[in-house]
Structure 1
Amino acid sequence: MSLTVRPGFSQSAEPTGAPIPVPSGIAVHWLETLRDNQGPAGLTLRFRFVAPEVADPDYDPDKAAADLQALCDGYVLARVSEMGPQPAELVLDLADQVVPFGEANEAAVQYFEAYSIGDGACVWEFY
């Protein structure tokens, strides 16, 4: 069972707030954070972001990996400490459009990475 941390979230929610800086320079916006007690490593927090530019042919997996690492270290870690029990795993999703959690959308471009927290930083985990 997943629980959203975004008040008033609905399946038609759109990302809000100022863009979050990332190394590639694209405009990334936070969509939602989900708490999942059923993750394979234990408590999992899922941070979902939207950036239409990830569908650009010049945006590649290497840029996505760098952007997701920066989002984890610079955005996610600051918020995890405020959320209660510490997660065993963080999963970040960066998509070109809003895709309701758990639904497939073959037209969407999505990048996923998983991390654990070690020594105050996000540590990449094989996902």
Structure 2
Amino acid sequence: MIARLSALTLLASVMAVSAVADLSPVEPQDLTPPSGQPVEFYETIMDQPAMGLTARFRFLAPQLSHYLDSLSYEELEADLSYLCDSYALPRLSVPEPAMIVISLTEAPVEFGAPAPDMAQVFEAYHPADGSCEWEAF
């Protein structure tokens, strides 16, 4: 019962914020991050957790587990930062979110659903002076 109420509350929050926080239309583009791994845009979720409006940009990276075996954290973060700066920022509109979360996942998975056998990574940023600044949790 609590899980259902929480899910309904989250859905209501997402719907309320979605009505006031639009994404700017931008032409599709090649998404080749610095590592060269194949990445494809999956979805955007706008929500408003306790820390303010958050824009979540989710990307599919079908070879992510292979790249996780060979990339350092710095190389992986460079990919996430690249997607934030080159893809997410140009698509933001007013009101500007307090936080941008960039995530990579091997295959489509419902937001918030557990998928322990699937490689997934994410990083948070805040928009500042036209770029994404890493946000320490």
TM-score range, shorter chain: 0.7 to 0.9
Amino acid in structure 2 at the alignment position of 1:20: L
Does 1:122 find its partner at 2:128? no
Q: Spell out, residue by residue over 1:1-23, the C-alpha distance to the aligned partner (whole angstroms, 9 max, x if none).
A: 235x7xxxxxxxxxxx7651100
Q: Spell out, residue by residue over 1:23-51, the C-alpha distance to the aligned partner (whole angstroms, 9 max, x if none).
A: 0001101100001012x320011000011
Alpha-carbon distance between aligned partners in 1 of 2:29 and 2:82, rounded to the nearest angstrom: 16
Structure with the higher fraction of residues in strand conformation: 1
- Structure 1 residue runs of 5 or longer lacking an equivalent are 6-16
With over 3 angstroms needed to count, the CA separation of the structure-2 counterparts of 1:86 and 1:62, relative to structure 1, is: same
1:23 pairs with one of 34, 46, 49: 34
Does 1:64 find its partner at 2:76? yes
What residue is the counterpart of 2:117 in the other structure? 107
Amino acid in structure 1 at the alignment position of 2:105: A
What residue is the counterpart of 1:10 in the other structure? none
Alpha-carbon distance between aligned partners in 2 of 1:111 and 1:50, rounded to the nearest angstrom: 11
Q: 1:64, 1:111 within 8 Å by CA — same for their partners in 2?
A: no
**TM-score, with length taken from structure 2:** 0.74
Q: Spell out, residue by residue over 1:55-111, the C-alpha distance to the aligned partner (whole angstroms, 9 max, x if none).
A: 102244332211000000011111013xx3110011111111111101011111111
**TM-score, with length taken from structure 1:** 0.80
Percent identity, please. 39
Alpha-carbon distance between aligned partners in 2 of 1:50 and 1:62, rounded to the nearest angstrom: 20
Amino acid in structure 2 at the alignment position of 1:112: F
With over 3 angstroms needed to count, the CA separation of the structure-2 counterparts of 1:52 and 1:19, relative to structure 1, is: farther
With over 3 angstroms needed to count, the CA separation of the structure-2 counterparts of 1:52 and 1:60, relative to structure 1, is: farther
1:79-94 pair list within 5 angstroms: 79-81=91-93, 84-94=94-104
Structure with the higher fraction of residues in helix conformation: 2
What residue is the counterpart of 2:25 in the other structure? none
Q: 1:53, 1:59 within 8 Å by CA — same for their partners in 2?
A: no
- Structure 2 residue runs of 5 or longer lacking an equivalent are 1-9, 19-27
What residue is the counterpart of 2:108 in the other structure? 98
